Structure 1
Amino acid sequence: MKKKALLYSIVLATGMSFSGCSDQFLQDMTPYDKYSPEMTFGIESNLDSYIQNVYYNYFYKSGMTPTQSYGLAGAWNDYTAYTEEKWGIQAKIDASQELNRSDDCETYFGANLGSNISNSPYTRIRSCNEILEGVDKYGQDLSESAIKRAKGQAYFLRAMQLFDLVRVYGGVPIVNKVIDASDRDGATAYVRESVEKCIEQVVKDLSDAAGMLPTRKEWGDSQYGRLTKEAALAYKSRVLLTFASPLFNKDWDNPSNKRWADALEATQEAKTFLDSEGYGLYGSTAKEWDEMFHNFDNKFCKEVIMVKLLASTNVKNDEHSGWQKAIRLKSMGGSGAGYQVPLGMINLFPMADGKEATQENGYDSFLFFKKRDPRFYYTFAFTGEKWGYDKNADASVWNYRWTDQTQNHYYADNLGGSSLAVVRKMSNPNANSDNTYQWDGTDVFEYRYAELLLNLAECQAATGHPSEAVKLIGDVRKRVGILAGQDGTYGLGNISDKHEAIKACLNERRIELAYEGKRYWDIIRWMLYNDDATASNTTCATLGIEPLNNTYRENKYLQVKDYDGKEDPLTDKRDGFTPVDVDDWDNLESEMERLGEFWTANFEFKETETPVDATSNKEQAYITWRQNYYLSGLPTNVVKMNPWLTQSIGWTDAYEAAGTFDARQ
């Protein structure tokens, strides 16, 4: 029995959700030529295969990097390029561009219907709806537990997709049933809803999911990686935190605001339940914090709430990570000069006592590696530091340059690197370096318990409890070895002002969650690129945070001083120098002093010849983000095919008419 109308029906200019399956069974299942709806949704094994295919369409991307894991369901954009974590001018921060037409809008919404089946947001939502309706219609012989598992996963996945649409576009249509695309009159009923209605739907779906999904323990080890009750509760915290933030909440500065109260309640509920299920911060040292990212391959870690499992096989259809390839130096089997770090990220991390890295607190901007936050040493790698890999446990980083009399530049180990440090975080010393880590299977942690604690800290700060926020940030710092200090604040100081507490929360997220794909969404929800009072956006001034607009990411070279020539002048000195080992925590301070002596004797900083944030004329480029970019308008194909969907304010529609829909409301 064929159901082509069912299969190819989808409202809002998108196709069907079956695509690119790695399992032959799932390929054969489309379009129900061999498996009827009764067999698909009425037989537990077939139903679960269908659900696994939905997971596939949500999360599959071979060669992904951690910052591109769940960034958006079904899409993998490098939003890190819009943050302080990475340099380079992209379209939305390019002063020479002003994007306001439907042709300039994010295309995430979906493609037009066509002969090829596409994997788009509303097709993924449709797949979830098919599960919910199919189980009700054909699941009479399913066990109660099978029904709850299926529905729980469908509700969670549907919530995730709608939330992603909201944080890209603001208010969007809510589609909670399977729709036939030929019913154009019926489709017009699906208009852009308010953000509030969308979030209400997301929260309801997550609550339903939490009521139906098994816990991690109930799923069992063989099903590790599935969505769980714990994850649903934690995800609700993430959603409500976003809804309470300034992007969607003009009353955000009111400590009695209901949205903050709701976010606080949901986050406390999630933490309480996760604590009871054995979740928590992993480890009590920075070394253990580092090992967390690679010591739990395809198995449970108490800190991991949501995980993307990857494979270490050489099968191309299996999922692998491109992270080790991106961050490792060529001398360690990587693809280049590593993931290079803007100077601002080096200066961001606090001192060893948790205090801000300032000259008054003993910070030396040249010997930046001395007496830093323990996480610094596992987030970054720098010249003279040991950083082992599978072929050489004692390998070290040498990333400097020298210049000859004719101003030609040469680089240590021919790396060509141009930053003082490279990203080390989430590196796996056991990953197979053959073929530049092509088959790396290091798992990706999408949601960690540390993020949940920082969510809670932010909610406490925003509701007028700054001391509670400081305590929670202190918990995050304590587990990596930062000492409480005489005032017991882990270097934060006695913060009594709500705004200072919020600022401290956002800053700690930048440190703890660096390079995990979270910073862009924090910038967006707090509108940290600019202030614009005409658009009810004054958060930077209110919090005392410098807007990103009119700033730039910068870099300096580590240059061999007092030398001109072609040959590496430090070959012999390198051979006689034992790289510092950050795992040797008891001797780390004296080891960094020794490294500092080596640097002082041999190196100096040099400005880059061309700015790392450069215009087409190789002049300094400044970040220029425009107010309408925080939420995209609808792309041309969508507003043309669905003309009843109103365009957002700040964007024009397909016929150059100004948008009227307030996507933030």
Structure 2
Amino acid sequence: MKNIIYKPWLTKGLALLFCLGLSLSACNNVLEDVDDLSNYPAQGTFDDEQTVNAYLSALYSSTFSGWPLNFGNYSNESGGIIGSDWITENNGTMKFWPYDIIRRVNIMLEELPAGQIPTEDQVEMEAQAKFIRAYLYFKMVYYHGGVPIITKPQDLEDNLNVSRNSTAECFDFIISDLDHAIANLPGRYEGGEFGKIDQATARAFKGRVLLYKASPQFNPSNPYDNGYWEDAYQANTQAKEFLDANGYGLLENYTDVFETSQHKENIFSVVYVDPVKTNGRGEDAVRPLSESKNATGGDQPIWALAEAFPMKDGKMPGDPTSAYTYDLQSFWENRDPRFEATLVWNGAAYPLSGKTDRRQYTMSNIALPVDAFGYIIQGESHYRTGLYCRKGIMEELSQELVNTNDVDWPEIRYAEILFNFAESANETGHTNEAFKVLKDIRQRAGIEPGDDGNFGLNDGMSREEMRETILHEKFIEMAFEGQRFWDLRRHRMLDRLDGMRKYGIMATKLNGKAYNEVTPEDINAANNYNLMPDDFTYEVVELITNGPTQMSMPEKYYFFPIQLSHIDRNTNLEQNIGWEGGTFDPTL
């Protein structure tokens, strides 16, 4: 059971906010609806430290969410086909327009200096607010490109028909807010203050922002030789050095990253505490339904992800130089330890709900029907893959308490900073620094170092080979953490998803017997968890056989459209090029 620390600064602040009636949800989007622009916090809100913290806590809650459940459906991590017309100008898919929250941030920044809180106590509050604003603007920019920069709370008498700022102007604005946060926040919050934005958070996030700015997404005509890569390298170098100096680093045990709290790898976390705030992981949707409640099917791994994990010596499955022979019929054997830490397969030990000897089965007529993956269950192939996700699951929770999971969500963790550093190092000629990152990641994972100490990695990789290796390593290290789709998109590699079909791994026979030939004795053996993975025969099967069967990721998805309803209300907003009527260029 993980160590739980109560967070009074967050939970008491939110409670006070609503007790005072300072509801902030009524402020509508200032760029589409002006009905509530006169809605302002109550007089005196910014005169008292407790009410300011309540206001700030509400901004945290509105901005930072938990695990990105099912986001792997958009890439090659989990099941689900993204068909054509997934994103349109009219629908709400992949639209991000949080000007209601930004208005609240701007209110705080405007009113706080005029309040009665001592100036020296305002500094950290203002810096946290500016980080939140930078975070929101950054997400808008990587969704849509340049957007209107609003720094004051708009009123009814203001001109609300604002135009989009250029993408370059938006990046400058984001970096300015982050630099302010870096200059005015303490190095690291710990103990009861853990979960608050600090200098470590701001430095790490600045590295992420500048990595995106340098990326092919924003620089299609000069994807890897533009000058922004040097900026990204410098920022990520500074972030890594600061984090190292302040006690951050990789945990020794990979699974502890997701099952313990307040550790040295979590730089910025969304904190969950039972019973105040729970189920950020969505464990009730990720577990097999036989050990869950209400629904399941979330984050179901596909065969492409299983294939991506190397063997224990770091070589890919089937590589003739590997010390380990790979066979589909024993695909789980001798794999990178992160394979077992991330995936659950047919017959694997999965001790949920206090059942210490429990094994997970997926074969039809052997598994419980709600967990099975087979040809005979109508619609089943759409929601089952033959694999389940183990990452972030609190296995000790009973079925009745499954939604009390309070594992913190690591919004920014040290491993990501290492990958950001490695990418920018590789693109600026520091290949050896990138290579060391990969070895550090693999060493922590438990991969064997080999005689050459390279953990299965090839010496002398070219810049392009190193780029691919970094992206692949991040794919498996950060599976189901909401990174893969965005990584492919910012590298303009969505063509790797376009036209992709998705597959699962099906247990088709038990000791040579098909599903309709199993005996009561076989079922009894399963009920007692006596069947092992190698008692079964496996086939790779396509998941979706009716309706859309192939992923659709057109070129125009590198920048999502501004929702048409926003443009209808504000004719000064230009649509992105590539979308109907689009004239705005979102690239740099």
Aligned residue in 2 for 1:194: 166
Q: Give % identity.
A: 28
- CA apart distance, 1:271: 0.8
Query: Which amino acid in the other structure matches residue 629 of structure 1?
Result: Y
Query: Which amino acid in the other structure matches residue 248 of structure 2?
Result: Y
Aligned residue in 1 for 2:291: 332
Q: Is contact 2:348–2:360 with CA below 8 Å preserved after alignment?
A: yes
Q: 1:621 aligns with which of 512, 527, 549?
A: 549
Q: 1:494 aligns with which of 449, 454, 459?
A: 459
Describe how 1:101-250 pairs up with structure 2 within 5 A: 102-104=89-91, 106=93, 108-110=95-97, 121-139=98-116, 141-144=117-120, 146-183=121-158, 186-188=159-161, 190-216=162-188, 219-250=189-220
Aligned residue in 1 for 2:267: 305
Task: Indicate whether 1:323 and 2:282 are aligned.
Answer: yes
The CA distance in 1 between the partners of 2:91 and 2:292, in whole Å, is 39
The CA distance in 1 between the partners of 2:551 and 2:27, in whole Å, is 43
* Residue segments in structure 2 that go unaligned for 5+ positions in a row: 1-21, 374-383
SS in 2 for 1:302: coil
SS in 2 for 1:381: strand
- CA apart distance, 1:603: 2.2
- CA apart distance, 1:319: 4.2
The CA distance in 1 between the partners of 2:296 and 2:206, in whole Å, is 40
SS in 1 for 2:207: helix
Q: Is contact 1:106–1:632 with CA below 8 Å preserved after alignment?
A: no
SS in 1 for 2:330: coil
Q: Is contact 2:282–2:403 with CA below 8 Å preserved after alignment?
A: no
Task: Indicate whether 1:631 and 2:565 are aligned.
Answer: no
Aligned residue in 2 for 1:271: 240
Aligned residue in 2 for 1:553: 502
CA gap of 1:562–1:50, structure 2 versus 1, over 3 A, is closer
The CA distance in 1 between the partners of 2:249 and 2:35, in whole Å, is 39
Q: CA RMSD in A?
A: 2.8
SS in 2 for 1:514: coil
CA gap of 1:52–1:359, structure 2 versus 1, over 3 A, is same
Q: Is contact 1:203–1:236 with CA below 8 Å preserved after alignment?
A: yes
Instruction: Provide Cα deviations, 1:560-619, integer angstroms capped at 9, x if missing partner.
Output: 23344364562355578768xxxxxxxxxxxxxxx5xx62xx4222464xx423442xxx
- Single out whichever of 336-345 and 369-378 deviates more from structure 2: 336-345
The CA distance in 2 between the partners of 1:16 and 1:433, in whole Å, is 45
CA gap of 1:9–1:47, structure 2 versus 1, over 3 A, is same
Q: 2:73 aligns with which of 68, 81, 95?
A: 81
The CA distance in 1 between the partners of 2:174 and 2:36, in whole Å, is 20
- CA apart distance, 1:84: 0.6
- CA apart distance, 1:359: 4.9
- CA apart distance, 1:80: 2.2
SS in 2 for 1:351: coil
The CA distance in 1 between the partners of 2:233 and 2:36, in whole Å, is 35
Q: Is contact 1:343–1:555 with CA below 8 Å preserved after alignment?
A: yes
CA gap of 1:359–1:365, structure 2 versus 1, over 3 A, is farther
The CA distance in 1 between the partners of 2:520 and 2:505, in whole Å, is 19
Aligned residue in 1 for 2:572: 644
Aligned residue in 1 for 2:11: none
Instruction: Provide Cα deviations, 1:308-357, integer angstroms capped at 9, x if missing partner.
Output: 112322x6xx4433532223224434655774321111111011011122
CA gap of 1:570–1:649, structure 2 versus 1, over 3 A, is same
Instruction: Provide Cα deviations, 1:429-454, integer angstroms capped at 9, x if missing partner.
Output: 3334315x122222211111011001
- CA apart distance, 1:43: 2.1
Q: Is contact 2:507–2:539 with CA below 8 Å preserved after alignment?
A: yes
TM-score by length of 2: 0.86
The CA distance in 2 between the partners of 1:308 and 1:500, in whole Å, is 35
The CA distance in 2 between the partners of 1:99 and 1:443, in whole Å, is 31
Aligned residue in 1 for 2:9: none
SS in 2 for 1:570: helix
The CA distance in 2 between the partners of 1:8 and 1:88, in whole Å, is 35
* Residue segments in structure 1 that go unaligned for 5+ positions in a row: 19-29, 69-77, 111-120, 402-409, 531-546, 580-594, 653-657
CA gap of 1:98–1:438, structure 2 versus 1, over 3 A, is closer
Q: Is contact 2:556–2:578 with CA below 8 Å preserved after alignment?
A: yes
Instruction: Provide Cα deviations, 1:616-657, integer angstroms capped at 9, x if missing partner.
Output: 2xxx722221111221121121111110111111112xxxxx
TM-score by length of 1: 0.77
The CA distance in 2 between the partners of 1:181 and 1:614, in whole Å, is 54
Query: Which amino acid in the other structure matches residue 367 of structure 2?
Result: A
Q: 2:32 aligns with which of 6, 10, 13?
A: 13
Pairs aligned (count)? 547
Aligned residue in 2 for 1:398: 361
Q: 1:378 aligns with which of 329, 338, 341?
A: 341
Describe how 1:435-450 pairs up with structure 2 within 5 A: 435=401, 437-450=402-415
Aligned residue in 2 for 1:612: 543
CA gap of 1:149–1:81, structure 2 versus 1, over 3 A, is same
Q: Is contact 2:299–2:480 with CA below 8 Å preserved after alignment?
A: no
